[in-house]
Amino acid sequence: FHRGPFGHQKDLLTTPVSPHQWAPSCGQVASPASTVHDCSLLSASHRDPSEWMVQLGELASNVVFWNLRAYVNRYRVRDILVHPHFSEGFSDIALVRLASPVSYNKYIQPICVLSSTFMFEHRPDCWVTGWGDISENYTLLPPSYNLQEVQLTILNNTRCNYLFKQPFSRGIIPDSMVCAGAEDGSVDACKGDSGGPLVCDKDGLWYQVGVVSWGVGCGRPNRPGVYTNVSQHFNWIRMLISCSSPKPG
Ligand code: 4AZ
């Protein structure tokens, strides 16, 4: 189990990302959006588009002199496309298209997307990152300024629906969503992490498997985090990623 520099804080769900762990391969981990294409980022559709100012390559959210750091880049948003099937708990995914192509560097890299998540189930090398709350019980404290990360596992939907059924509800996880975490609740995303990526390393390449969407609290036993299943939206993503604006008229 990987721990960041403050990993002794066992009561917290996530630990800070340290820059030396930020080793890029095919795809890099970013939050609350991830680069899937030269001009396109993935996020959650329940994020308010008017909040958006795209800043890539960031680890700390409290840095004022962002433009003094060589690896950080800012981009204007061309448009934000919300999935047509989006509703509460379904297809919670949005494509943020940028006005200009991203210039990649050591810390800003595109992430890969596969048309199936099957191969990532039960693998130990999946991670979620974000600047959201570090515990359901710490919501009155400001969340960490440093990007947080935690290693978790992908559950299949049959298992996840079984867990959510206990003790009274019905299975509520559709195929457009995927669950991840730990059945004992020791690791999870939390409020404010929404829109960020759930990524898995396979043979040295990073793949985006999920987008942080919702949960029942954070870090509760038998209540894994619920993520948008990115692979289920593969064709939608592929159809819409582009760098050029549609011609007027
Ligand atoms: C949220 O409200 C949220 N435990 C995101 C993830 C989880 C819970 C809440 C998962 O943004």
Active site residue 83: no
**Closest Cα to atom 3, ligand 1: which residue?**
191
Could you report the per-residue pLDDT of 119-176, keeping only the tens digit for each?
788 787 899 988 888 888 876 666 677 888 899 999 999 999 999 987 766 678 999 9
Q: 17 is written with which tokens?
A: 């990302």
Closest CA to ligand 1's atom 8 = 215
Ligand 1 centroid – CA 248 distance (Å): 39
- pLDDT of amino acid 14: 74
> Is residue 44 in contact with ligand 1, taking CB distance under 6 Å?
no
* Nearest Cα to Cα of residue 31 among 67, 58, 4, 5: 58
pLDDT < 50: residue spans in the chain: 1-9, 20-30
Judge if the beta carbon of residue 214 lies within 6 A of ligand 1. Answer: yes
Q: Rounded to the nearest whole angstrom, what is the distance from the C-alpha of residue 249 to the centroid of ligand 1? A: 42
pLDDT score for 66: 52
pLDDT at 33: 59
Residue 194: active-site member: yes
**71 Cα–ligand 1 center, Å:** 29
Of 200, 89, 84, 216, nearest in space to 152 by CA: 200
Q: Coil, strand or helix: which one is 161?
A: helix
Ligand 1 geometric centre to CA of 245 (Å)? 34
Q: Residue 122: its pLDDT value, please? A: 78
In this predicted structure, what is the pLDDT of residue 189?
95
Q: Is 92 annotated as catalytic?
A: yes
* Half-sphere exposure (Cβ direction) of 4: Cα atoms closer than 13 Å: 22
pLDDT of residue 218: 95
What confidence score (pLDDT) does residue 228 get? 95
- Catalytic residue selected from 92, 188, 193, 201: 92
Q: Rounded distance, CA 188 to CA 129, Å? A: 10
ipTM over 0.90: yes
